[in-house]
Amino acid sequence: MAPRAPSVARAAVLKESIALPEDMPQIKGYDFNQGLDHKALLQSFLTTGFQASSFGQAVQEINKMIEKRLELVQEEHESCDSHTSASGCTIFLGYTSNLISSGVRESIRYLAQHRMVDVIVTTAGGIEEDFIKCLAPTYLGDFSLKGKELRQQGINRIGNLLVPNDNYCKFEDWLMPILDQMVLEQKTEGTHWTPSKMIHRLGKEINNPDSVYYWAYKNDIPVFSPALTDGSLGDMIYFHSYKNPGLLLDIVEDIRRLNSKAVFAKSTGMIILGGGLVKHHIANANLMRNGADFAVFVNTGQEFDGSDSGARPDEAISWGKIRMDASPVKNDIPVFSPALTDGSLGDMIYFHSYKNPGLLLDIVEGESLKI
């Protein structure tokens, strides 16, 4: 008779499992035998596993924001000023400049055009690149192109994107007369400029439906950029200060306005694409109301260097920037950005525009994507 395997080995390998909850999702991917159903493919991400499931959870979290946003606020607020939102959820969208440099810009423009977000926060590059693209195109290059050769040719590289330096010269030609007019209005009319008011004005002046900030201007969506001088805009403001000095931009008024958007909201949701300034500026505004109710972070940062960019949502909970009873999601892969780029965010939420500006979104072509 053959000897039995050692009992310790059998016990280790054949350890019994506890029964898992019956409602626990089972891992299953999309079956392409059923044909290509774009919506069903996105729905399958939730049960695909790994980062795809994080994507599916992000969709769920955004759907919660949208559903809450449709609840009109009936009760009285502490404040009756312009900061008070009439919707059930104020959605803050933050993104870094590289997304505007890339083709994701068109998806962000769609969100602004159809009033799918209430507040935008971005960097200086996230502002200027939008306007520059209205004046001249950005091109596809390669990550490996040599910096020395590009500099000699007057070509700037953003990853594998190429921006001729002439584009920035065109930007200067367009911007300088506007800065002159801003200084004039400041001196003669007492206009009190802030970064958000300047962006609003530039959105009006560009008068181009391809622009994110044209639609932010048209739909009165405030755009905050506390580091507005950190880029080409800052370069132009610097040069202009020699030609026609005196322009003042008040960041104090803007921080009160941004924080008030969070404080007086019925509930808030954060969708933050990227990290750094935009992530912290939105999160810190939500600290003023003891945290956001909903949050989706999309970035490739890691928490191990202690950076704000890589910090997980749980760290934000410890600071009071996300509420303790929230269920925030972090997605750390680029799959979310292509979903934005090809319009999938529009498929996710299936909302086109407000029925009444500032009050109610209109559902079109079906319901929001449920996962």
Rounded distance between C-alpha atoms, residue 83 and residue 78, angstroms: 11
Catalytic residue among 321, 330, 355, 370: 321
Per-residue burial over 23-61, b if 16 or more Cβ lie within 10 Å, else e, is eeeeeeebeeeeeeeeeeebbbbbbbeeebbbbbbbbbb
Rounded distance between C-alpha atoms, residue 105 and residue 131, angstroms: 11
Q: Are 87 and 269 in contact (CB under 8 A)?
A: no
CA-based nearest residue to 323, from 279, 278, 287: 287
28 is catalytic: no
Q: Are 296 and 328 in contact (CB under 8 A)?
A: yes
Q: Are 326 and 292 in contact (CB under 8 A)?
A: yes
Q: Are 139 and 159 in contact (CB under 8 A)?
A: no
CA angle 56, 102, 138 (to 5 degrees): 165
Rounded distance between C-alpha atoms, residue 35 and residue 29, angstroms: 14
Q: Are 58 and 336 in contact (CB under 8 A)?
A: yes
CA-based nearest residue to 292, from 323, 336, 316, 319: 323
CA-based nearest residue to 117, from 346, 371, 347, 277: 346
Rounded distance between C-alpha atoms, residue 335 and residue 229, angstroms: 31
CA angle 100, 105, 107 (to 5 degrees): 150
For the annotated catalytic residues, the residue numbers are 321
